[in-house]
């Protein structure tokens, strides 16, 4: 990962929600850098004073993002960078308290954005939510464009609303924004509770020797992000590798696969370049698209010569497409075979009777 720490030299950073589970970790990371000042605005509605980071460069303001006076006060520090994490968290809480959810996540985000725009901040990072925007109908692995407008909780609606507002500020005023989408995050500083994520609650119940309840039929699948990894990605996101205003999914961590969704047979629907199965220039990347997604992270590098000899090439996967980068390692006029092992089919529970193979032959370019 690129080193981005210098991007924070002498900067003033405002972190709304900086006393929270992710915000607290983020502030501690920022504090290790050469920042001028970190201002936290947090009303401690879902966090505790003991989790507020302390240090000579850290200024904690106990207040609400809906309070114009508090906003004026923190923006008087003229932040260069704003991380907006304060939120009414999360799904069940929003179902029980939909109006508060809309006020904090909708109106609150709008107010913070307006102050950021009026004070010309150089970067506004918004904490969106993977569970919020992708909905239930998106197919794994998620693509950033899979945003759903058929959502199931007010929290999903308002986290998406936040992205719409940040995009609006970028489009109309050129505010430099980054939308980041966390998946279930876990790490130090998050306490168990009625509205909190499953991992701190599981730890709490396990320590007390209680049963760990599994809801649904046990086949649910979701992605978790370790909090310190998430804050590290935040830093990288800030430093300019971001493709704002496009959203960025932060999906490091353990993926628990579900069952279902893929039905054999797995077939190739397109190959680009179109004649790749007969002859391709040896320096051209080949995109092989299948009729359904295959498992991210599975081993697609087992490309072999027709006699089975392995060939070291790089492959990457995006949705249903595998891209094979020859890296100039392929030889001319040679037949190669891509083998997709049976356990590479998405979601693991369905196995192919035989590994899928695809043959192509190179030609001098």
Positions annotated as catalytic residues are 155
DSSP class of residue 108 equals I
Q: Which residues of 20-44 are buried (b: 16+ CB within 10 A; e: fewer)?
A: bbbbbbbbbbbbebebebbbbbbbe
Q: Would you tell me which residues interact with ligand NAD (CB under 6 A)?
A: 17, 19-23, 41-47, 64-66, 85-89, 104, 108, 127, 129, 159, 182, 184-185, 197
Kindly state the tokens that stand for 38. Answer: 């970190």
Which one, of 180, 202, 207, 249, lies nearest residue 23 by Cα? 180
**Closer CB to ligand NAD, 15 or 276, in the complex:** 15
Report in angstroms how near the CB of residue 143 gets to ligand NAD at its nearest. Answer: 18
**Closer CB to ligand NAD, 19 or 282, in the complex:** 19
Report in angstroms how near the CB of residue 101 gets to ligand NAD at its nearest. Answer: 10
**Closer CB to ligand NAD, 159 or 346, in the complex:** 159
**Closer CB to ligand NAD, 43 or 237, in the complex:** 43
- Rounded CA gap, 99 and 95, in Å? 9
Sign of CA dihedral 101, 105, 110, 112: positive
Report in angstroms how near the CB of residue 112 gets to ligand NAD at its nearest. Answer: 9
Question: What is the DSSP annotation of 194-250?
Answer: TTS-HHHHHHHHHHTT---PPPTTS----BEEEHHHHHHHHHHIIIII--TTSEEEE
**Angle formed by the axes of helices 109-118 and 154-173, to 10°?**
20
Report in angstroms how near the CB of residue 198 gets to ligand NAD at its nearest. Answer: 10
State how far Cα 192 lies from the chain centre.
Answer: 23
């Amino acid at each position: 990962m690129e080193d981005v720490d210098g991007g924070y030299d002498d900067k003033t950073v405002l972190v709304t929600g900086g006393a929270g589970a992710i915000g607290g970790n983020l502030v501690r990371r920022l504090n290790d850098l050469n920042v001028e000042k970190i201002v936290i605005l947090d009303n401690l509605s879902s966090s505790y004073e003991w989790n507020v980071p302390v240090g000579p460069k850290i200024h904690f303001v106990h207040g609400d993002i809906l309070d114009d006076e508090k906003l004026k006060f923190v923006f008087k520090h003229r932040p260069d960078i704003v991380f907006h994490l304060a939120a009414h968290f999360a799904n069940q809480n929003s179902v029980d308290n939909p109006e508060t959810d809309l006020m904090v996540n909708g109106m609150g985000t709008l107010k913070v954005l307006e102050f950021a725009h009026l004070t010309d901040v150089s970067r506004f990072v918004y904490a969106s939510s993977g569970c919020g925007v992708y909905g239930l109908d998106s197919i794994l692995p998620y693509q950033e464009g899979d945003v759903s407008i058929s959502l199931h909780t007010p929290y999903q609606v308002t986290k998406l609303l936040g992205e719409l507002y940040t995009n609006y500020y970028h489009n109309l005023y050129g505010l430099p924004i980054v939308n980041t989408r966390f998946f279930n995050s876990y790490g130090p500083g998050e306490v168990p509770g009625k509205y909190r994520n499953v991992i701190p609650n599981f730890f709490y119940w396990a320590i007390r020797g209680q049963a760990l309840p599994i809801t649904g039929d046990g086949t649910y699948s979701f992605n978790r992000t370790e909090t310190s990894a998430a804050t590290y990605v935040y830093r990288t996101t800030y430093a300019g590798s971001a493709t704002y205003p496009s959203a960025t999914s932060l999906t490091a961590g353990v993926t628990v696969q579900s069952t279902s969704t893929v039905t054999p047979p797995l077939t190739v629907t397109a190959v680009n370049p179109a004649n790749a199965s007969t002859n391709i220039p040896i320096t051209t990347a080949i995109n092989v698209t299948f009729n359904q997604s295959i498992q991210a992270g599975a081993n697609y590098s087992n490309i072999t010569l027709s006699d089975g000899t392995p060939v070291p090439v790089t492959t990457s996967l995006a949705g249903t497409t595998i891209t094979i980068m020859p890296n100039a390692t392929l030889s001319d006029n040679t037949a190669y075979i891509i083998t997709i092992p049976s356990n590479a089919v998405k979601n693991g529970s369905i196995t192919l009777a035989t590994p899928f193979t695809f043959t192509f032959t190179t030609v001098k370019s």
